[in-house]
Amino acid sequence: MNLLSLAYKNLQRRKLRSAFTIAGIALSAWVLVTLLGFNKGYEKSLNRDIDNMGFQIVLTAKGCPYEAATLMLKGGTGLRYMPEKLVEEVASAPEVAATTPMLMHAEFDPYKGENGGTVVYLGVDGETYPQMKAYFEFASGQWFSAPEAKEIVLGYEAAELEQREIGDMMLLPGSEEEFLVTGILKRTGTQDDGMIFMPLRTVQNVFNKQNLLTMLGIRLKQGIDSSAFEEKLYQLPDVQVVSMAQVKNTIISLVKSARVIVLSIAAIAFLIAVFGVLNTVLMSVFERYQEIGILKSIGALPKQIFAMIWIETILLCSGGCVAGIVFSYAFAGISEKLIRFFLPFAPNGELIFLSPDLILSAFAAITLTGMLGGILPALRAAHIRPLDAIRSEV
Amino acid sequence: MTDMITIKNLTKIYRRGSEEIRAVDNLSFSVRAGEIVSITGPSGSGKTTLVNILGCLDNPTGGELSLQGREIFKDGLTLSEKELTLIRRQYFGYVFQKFFLLPTLTVLENITLPFVFGAGTNTDQTYIRELMTLLGIDKRANHLPSELSGGEMQRVAIARALATKPQVLIADEPTGNLDSKRTAEIKSLLSELNKRQNLTIILVTHDPDFARIADTVLEISDGRILSQK
Ligand SMILES: Nc1ncnc2c1ncn2[C@@H]1O[C@H](COP(=O)(O)OP(=O)(O)OP(=O)(O)O)[C@@H](O)[C@H]1O
Ligand SMILES: [Mg+2]
């Protein structure tokens, strides 16, 4: 037997109390690890979403940059337009490798969901768009047959939601015509999965937006300095230049403020749990006043009693922490759903990314705090005198 | 026989507000190595206070105490807590009226508990076995204290006190919670241990029977020696 096994046996004495204390730590460790994992995963997924866009710069009509940012990734209302003739001007610049014009259109669909919802169409150019999105694969069918065809291509999730297959005719909200589903894309894990694609001309004609665009995607040639070119684009009248780096920063700064609040909540939960441990250990020290006095009389040095009580604290903290980490892994799926529900904008893919170094640092943080908190009860115990045991009448 | 413990003008004063209680009042005597000293006296006469000081568990207010010639207390000066612990480890084993066994440890674990803290040189397994056989608890090695009778628990406490082979056993009313049959058992046990190991025993008891095995019987009252036989 040694101090460690003695400490372990001491914890077993009050199994229920130890279990509750461990559960408290586990719960807060779970919250902490999940939130830290979210910290990482969110940015990672966002980066991937942005890399998958196929273009580094998007030109939109002048407007609120936040609006433009969300619009690009999610689609939204209050769209602004720019003239189509801009395309030639931009495409002729020597830095540009390729451009693709897009027209986004949003319609309110009263039959969508319980209370209706917004349906977003993306008019794309059948020539240039597929080249930008070279990683798109069709589950079935193909891109449009002609620039003005009354055809649509559905993203994977859009097809699932609408329950459509190739060859189906669809009456789209906001139009009186039926459209033929010519293609369904495979899952990409990006926002494109939920998209309804139509030929650019068709969107312009059906929704009366002739010669207008909402966005122009620009891919630069290799080795071109993006920020220098952005400056150049700003010379154009009434346009807004949104670079992917910028979008990312905008979204991240939006999320960051929420993150601070959430992390403070986690920190508070964690502190409460540590106080729980402290309380438990302190209580058990008072309960064992006599016993500790007896240990002193049979030869325990103050530092050995200190070590014993400290080990008890550390065992509680690290035990709870391990349990919490196991929870984090086991319930990552549920936590992810919960976060998606509360978040204004969530990229596709894994939101919670649990890496070994994150787990390790969470473990270290919790155990170290526990160790710090454990000093007080351990000191109390170390100073109990053998006489206290013998004299007390309890 | 050499002197094990010598006290000179030993005094312990408790103060409660303005009131002064002389629990030990100017006592001087010696305990020789291998001697059994039995201390008797009415309740509140200072027996516990005295043996706690003799066992270096408590400090006197004044006077001197030396252990095998080594000065431990002198004129209110004392050793550090650590030094006292080391002295207790080296010289003393304690048995109290209450048994103070750790409920989650088995009998054997309770007995070897002093070694966990480094008291005693190392665990002498054969000696521990011998001790347990002598005390009649060898069959109980893996039982928990809650599964034992009061007499057995006190014998485990005695085994724990003796596991590190101390030279002096301090026993404050060790049979206070036991019936007369168990008391008689413990009495003959202590006598046996004294003969076998030349163990010095300082014993507080109300039981006049113990006087028979004692070499010296101290009767104290109000912190003073009433008679010494
Ligand atoms: N910590 C203390 N503070 C104040 N007075 C104390 C303290 N400990 C003991 N006393 C007093 O000192 C006196 C001697 O007490 P002690 O416990 O030594 O007596 P005792 O002979 O062991 O009695 P008993 O037979 O009841 O165990 C008593 O009057 C007691 O009230
Ligand atoms: Mg007493």
Q: How many CB atoms lie within 10 A of CB A128?
A: 19
Q: Would you say residue A71 has pLDDT above 60? A: no
- A194 in the same domain as A323: no
Whether B58 and chain A come into contact, CB under 8 Å, resolves to yes
Lowest-confidence segment of A35-44, A174-183, A227-236, A279-288 by average pLDDT: A35-44
Q: Which residues are paired to A62 by β-bridges?
A: none
Q: How far apart are CA B135 and CA B129, in angstroms?
A: 10
Q: Would you say residue B56 has pLDDT above 60? A: yes
Lowest-confidence segment of A10-19, A237-246, A292-301, B31-40 by average pLDDT: A237-246
Closest CA to A194 of A159, A163, A166: A159
More confident residue, A50 or A73: A50
Q: What does the pLDDT read at residue B1?
A: 59
Closest CA to A309 of A276, A275, A283: A283
Decide whether any atom of ligand 1 lies within 6 Å of the B136 Cβ. no
- A151 in the same domain as A12: no
Residue A102 within any structural domain of the chain: yes
The number of residues making up chain A comes to 394
Q: What does the pLDDT read at residue A366?
A: 86
Q: Would you say residue A287 has pLDDT above 70? A: yes
Q: Would you say residue A85 has pLDDT above 90? A: no
Q: Would you say residue B70 has pLDDT above 80? A: yes
Residue A246 within any structural domain of the chain: no
Q: Would you say residue A185 has pLDDT above 50? A: yes
pLDDT tens digit sequence for B175-210: 877 778 878 888 888 898 899 889 999 999 888 888
Q: Which domain holds residue A315?
A: 3-48+259-391
Q: Would you say residue A64 has pLDDT above 80? A: no
Q: Please identify, among A237, A272, A302, the residue that sits at the C-terminal boundary of a domain.
A: A237
- A215 in the same domain as A100: yes
Q: Please identify, among A237, A270, A297, the residue that sits at the C-terminal boundary of a domain.
A: A237
pLDDT tens digit sequence for A332-379: 888 888 877 776 666 666 777 788 888 888 888 888 888 888 899 999
- A279 in the same domain as A190: no
Which of B45, B59, B177 has most ligand 1 atoms within 8 Å of CB, for mutation?
A: B45
Closest CA to B119 of B156, B153, B165: B165
Lowest-confidence segment of A231-235, B90-94, B219-223 by average pLDDT: A231-235
Q: What does the pLDDT read at residue A201?
A: 92
Task: Provide the pLDDT confidence category of residue A392 given band limits of 50, 70 and 90.
Answer: low
Decide whether any atom of ligand 1 lies within 6 Å of the B38 Cβ. no
Lowest-confidence segment of A103-117, A312-326, B167-181, B215-229 by average pLDDT: A103-117
- A203 in the same domain as A265: no
Q: How many CB pairs under 8 A join A and B?
A: 66
Cβ atoms A261, A38 nearer than 8 A: no
List Cα–Cα distances, A87 to A6, A57, A144, A214, in angstroms.
77, 13, 21, 12
Q: What does the pLDDT read at residue B185?
A: 81
Taking the mean position of all CA atoms in its chain, how far away is CA B48? 10
Q: Are strands B200-204 and B168-172 parallel, antiparallel or unpaired?
A: parallel
CB contact under 8 A, B119 and A298: yes
Residue A331 within any structural domain of the chain: yes
Contacts within 8 Å (CB) and 24+ apart, A104-108:
A104/A71, A104/A75, A104/A79, A104/A214, A104/A215, A105/A79, A105/A174, A105/A203, A105/A207, A105/A209, A106/A75, A106/A76, A106/A77, A106/A79, A107/A172, A107/A173, A107/A174, A108/A173
Lowest-confidence segment of A59-73, B2-16, B116-130 by average pLDDT: A59-73
Q: Would you say residue B107 has pLDDT above 90? A: yes
The mean pLDDT value of chain A amounts to 83
Residue A166 within any structural domain of the chain: yes
Structure tokens at A226: 């993006």
Q: What does the pLDDT read at residue A47?
A: 75
Structure tokens at A10: 């001491």
- A116 in the same domain as A89: yes
The number of residues making up chain B comes to 229
Q: What does the pLDDT read at residue B212?
A: 82
- A351 in the same domain as A308: yes
- A282 in the same domain as A177: no
Decide whether any atom of ligand 1 lies within 6 Å of the B49 Cβ. yes
Largest CA distance in chain B: 55
- A207 in the same domain as A321: no
Residue A204 within any structural domain of the chain: yes
Residue A377 within any structural domain of the chain: yes
Q: How many CB atoms lie within 10 A of CB A164?
A: 17
Whether A158 and chain B come into contact, CB under 8 Å, resolves to no
More confident residue, B181 or A317: A317
Closest C-alpha residue for ligand 1 atom 28: B44
- A155 in the same domain as A14: no
Residue A55 within any structural domain of the chain: no
- A211 in the same domain as A79: yes
Closest CA to B33 of B203, B167, B196, B169: B167
Q: How far apart are CA A270 and CA B203, in angstroms?
A: 53
> Looking at the partner chain, which of B58, B114, B118 has a beta carbon nearest the beta carbon of A387?
B58
Number of domains in chain A: 2
Residues 113-172 of B with CB under 8 A from A: 113-114, 116-120, 160-161, 164, 172
- A301 in the same domain as A171: no
User: What mean pLDDT is predicted for residues A174-178?
Assistant: 84
ipTM of the complex, rounded to two decimals: 0.88
Q: Would you say residue A87 has pLDDT above 80? A: yes
Cβ atoms A292, A381 nearer than 8 A: yes
Residue A229 within any structural domain of the chain: yes
Q: What does the pLDDT read at residue A5?
A: 86
Q: What does the pLDDT read at residue A394?
A: 47
